[in-house]
């Protein structure tokens, strides 16, 4: 077995931290009590952490579920949480977790090895890749969990799975009570799910709102939190406020304490009211177009690869988003362990036009290129899950038109976006995926996982994915991830645009609003001043 300290170092390639606290004057000792009023920019899609995918949903579900481990937002190190220690087999096929004694779910049942088994069994057998795409991909090759004794769980895989330790820190693999794990997919989504987190559900209205209250007697916080013991807040009320200006005005008028997606134009009003805008960059896959290589002109690899230099990413940031955001420089965000800056991700409209011309796509009468009678046109499927998506894509549309590409914007609801993504009914999809580990690429692009590009197997790419799963050596793993990133670019599977940053507006009464290692919020340390 590999010791916990050795593996922690091996799996962390760089600092993944964010942290952040604040809202107004953050001086003075934290005060207990009060209900935080939080304005979500989009509706939560599911009460179940295992099925949660959007940031707005995870802001909610993270508060009710604890994980076996946590990831320190400052160092990226994997630290204990529900598991006080663990061992990993030399081939990374078995992970043995020794659980804290005395921890309970909110229904009073123990957090034990049987709960670990039922949680992971439910993700793989009941939910699967369609309903729990991230969690199920993290458990790829899962063969079962052995209850060694009530507080010892051995999780086994059919092959090496070096990414699993970091995955065990995510909310998607948070440990849930047996009652929740026995429910149907739909029942889990409607809630309330039963976790061991510092908050519990008191009300959940699908797509509309949610209410949480403090878990009395909570004493098993992660060492990555700022304090131990119960949460400071009595509760959290989440409401959906889609309009950015309304969210900002609600901070200024003291109707909300914190809000999601505080856009650059909102900052002056928030700070003028005595609040602040808290930001941190997201690790994982940056925003970009994932291309379906089986449809229309995107079948042509020359077209796919020409799209990358056609986009002026700095203009996207400067025009739409502001200085808290970065242009993407690869198929991983720069904060992600294993990130490689790719020289091919650059703006060169002349080179893009030349590549298209050389591939036989010539300008038509209206400037849009044609080949064999077909126009160079494709659609991008997207939702408003991030407030800046439409403005960014409208500018991308203008940039591509300059090199003769007609991009059609296909805005849908979150539900339709998910359904069409799962069915493959799209030319391309626009989005990002957050995770503080480079293995997120395997989840999206491997033919054994979601394969949203619908490509045939690329041997060099699949070998890189298999290799990074098989080693806990940081240098070797990063080299394999670098190969995977270059292969994704060379095959024209992904067109990166911008790196997402979380921008949270905090009013003058809200303090200790903190980001975890994956740039999601944890409210255990948040408190409200009384004046």
Rounded to whole angstroms, the Cα distance separating 343 from 508 reads 43
Are residues 91 and 231 both part of a single domain? no
Q: Which of 410, 389, 481, 386 is nearest to 443 (CA)?
A: 481
Percent of the chain predicted with pLDDT > 70: 95
Query: How many angstroms separate the CA atoms of 201 and 209, rounded?
Result: 11
- Kindly compute the dihedral angle of the four CA atoms of residues 351, 356, 359, 360, in this order, to the nearest 10 degrees: -130
Q: Are residues 206 and 152 part of one domain?
A: no
Mean pLDDT of 496-519: 94
Q: Is residue 10 part of a domain?
A: no
Q: Are residues 296 and 261 in the same domain?
A: no
Q: Is the pLDDT of residue 165 over 90?
A: yes
pLDDT of residue 212: 98
Tell me the pLDDT tens digit for each residue of 28-73: 799 999 999 999 998 898 999 999 988 899 999 999 999 999 999 9
Average pLDDT over residues 147-157: 98
Is 8 a residue whose pLDDT tops 70? no
* 174 and 253 inside one domain: no
Give domain status of residue 381, yes or no.
Answer: yes
Phi, psi of 194 (to 5 degrees): -110, 110
The answer to whether 176 and 119 have CB atoms below 8 angstroms apart is yes
Cα dihedral across residues 43, 47, 53, 58: positive or negative? positive
**Cα distance between residue 163 and residue 468, in whole Å:** 8
pLDDT tens sequence across 336-391 = 999 999 999 999 999 999 999 999 999 999 999 999 999 999 999 999 888 889 99
Q: What is the extent of the structural domain holding 448?
A: 284-499
Domain assignment present for residue 375? The answer is yes
* C-alpha count within 13 angstroms, C-beta hemisphere, residue 289: 30
Confidence of residue 27 (pLDDT cuts 50, 70, 90): low
In Å, how far are 78, 456, 515 from 282, measured between CA atoms?
A: 18, 30, 10
Residue 232, domain member (yes or no): yes
Q: Write out pLDDT tens, residues 302-340.
A: 999 999 999 999 999 999 998 889 999 999 999 999 999
Residue 5, C-beta contacts closer than 8 angstroms, at least 6 positions apart: none
Do 408 and 347 share a structural domain? yes
State whether 334 and 472 are in the same domain. yes
Report the first-to-last Cα separation within the chain, whole angstroms: 54
For the domain that residue 181 is a member of, what is the CATH number?
3.90.76.10
Residues 306 and 451 reside in one and the same domain: yes
Q: Is 21 among the domain residues?
A: no
The Cα–Cα gap between 307 and 289 comes to 10
Q: Do 292 and 464 form a contact (C-beta atoms < 8 A)?
A: no
The CB-side HSE value for 528 (13 A sphere, CA atoms) comes to 17
Cα 15–Cα 523–Cα 113 angle in degrees, nearest 5: 80
Residues 126 and 158 in one domain: yes
Question: Is the residue at 71 inside a domain?
Answer: no
Task: Tell me whether residue 427 is in a domain.
Answer: yes
490 and 420 in a single domain? The answer is yes
- Global confidence as pTM: 0.83
Residues 341 and 431 in one domain: yes
Check which CATH number belongs to the domain holding 241 and give it: 3.40.190.10
Burial 215-235 (b: 16+ CB within 10 A, else e): beebebbbebbeeeebbbbbb
The total of structural domains in the chain comes to: 3
Query: Same domain, yes or no, for 128 and 177?
Result: yes
Q: Please tell me the distance from the alpha carbon of residue 8 to that of residue 474, in angstroms, as a whole number.
A: 10
Report, as an integer, the average pLDDT of 143-166: 97
In a domain, 343, yes or no: yes
Q: Do 304 and 315 fall within a single domain? A: yes
| CATH number of the domain that residue 293 is part of | 3.10.105.10
């Amino acid at each position: 077995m590999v010791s916990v300290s050795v593996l922690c170092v091996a799996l962390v390639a760089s600092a993944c931290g964010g942290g952040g606290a604040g809202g107004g004057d953050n001086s003075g000792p934290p005060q207990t009590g009060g209900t935080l009023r939080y304005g979500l920019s989009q509706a939560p899609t599911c009460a179940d952490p295992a099925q949660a995918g959007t940031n707005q949903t995870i802001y909610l579900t993270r508060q009710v579920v604890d994980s076996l481990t946590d990831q320190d937002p400052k160092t990226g190190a994997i630290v204990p949480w529900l598991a006080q220690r663990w061992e990993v087999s030399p081939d990374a096929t078995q992970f043995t977790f020794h659980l804290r004694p005395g921890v309970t779910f909110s229904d009073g049942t123990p957090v034990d090895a049987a709960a670990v088994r039922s949680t992971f069994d439910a993700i793989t057998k009941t939910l699967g890749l369609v309903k729990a795409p991230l969690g199920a991909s993290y458990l790829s090759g899962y063969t079962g969990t052995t209850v060694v004794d009530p507080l010892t769980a051995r999780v086994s895989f059919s092959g090496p799975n070096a990414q699993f330790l970091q995955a065990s820190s995510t909310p998607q693999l948070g440990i849930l009570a047996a009652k929740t794990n026995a429910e149907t997919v739909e029942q889990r989504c409607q809630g309330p799910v039963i976790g061991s987190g510092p908050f519990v559900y008191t009300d959940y209205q699908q797509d509309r709102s949610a209410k949480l209250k403090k878990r009395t007697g909570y004493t098993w916080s992660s060492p990555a939190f700022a304090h131990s013991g119960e949460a400071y807040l009595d509760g959290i009320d989440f409401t959906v406020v889609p309009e950015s200006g309304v969210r900002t005005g609600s901070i200024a008028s003291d109707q909300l304490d914190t809000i999601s997606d505080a856009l650059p134009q909102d900052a002056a009003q928030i700070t003028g009211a005595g609040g602040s805008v808290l930001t941190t960059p997201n690790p994982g896959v940056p925003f970009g177009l994932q291309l379906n290589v089986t449809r229309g002109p995107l079948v042509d690899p020359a077209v796919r690869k020409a799209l990358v230099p056609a986009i002026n990413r700095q203009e996207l940031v400067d025009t739409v988003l502001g200085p808290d955001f970065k242009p993407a420089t690869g198929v991983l965000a720069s904060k992600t362990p294993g990130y490689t800056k790719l020289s091919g991700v650059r703006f060169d409209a002349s080179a893009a036009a030349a590549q298209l011309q050389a591939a036989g796509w010539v300008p038509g009468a209206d400037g849009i290129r044609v080949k064999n009678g077909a126009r160079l046109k494709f659609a991008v499927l997207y939702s408003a899950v991030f407030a800046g998506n439409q403005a960014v894509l409208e500018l991308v549309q203008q940039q591509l038109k300059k090199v003769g590409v007609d991009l059609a914007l296909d805005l849908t609801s979150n539900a339709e976006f998910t359904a069409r993504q799962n069915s493959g009914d799209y030319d391309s999809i626009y989005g990002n995926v957050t995770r503080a580990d480079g293995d997120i690429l395997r989840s999206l692009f491997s033919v054994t996982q979601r394969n949203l590009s619908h490509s045939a197997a690329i041997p060099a790419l699949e070998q890189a994915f298999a290799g990074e799963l098989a080693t806990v050596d940081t240098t070797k793993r990063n080299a394999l991830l670098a190969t995977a990133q270059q292969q994704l670019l060379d095959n024209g599977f992904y067109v990166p645009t911008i790196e997402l940053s979380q921008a949270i507006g905090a009013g003058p009464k809200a303090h200790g609003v903190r980001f975890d290692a994956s740039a999601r919020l944890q409210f255990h340390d948040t408190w409200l001043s009384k004046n």
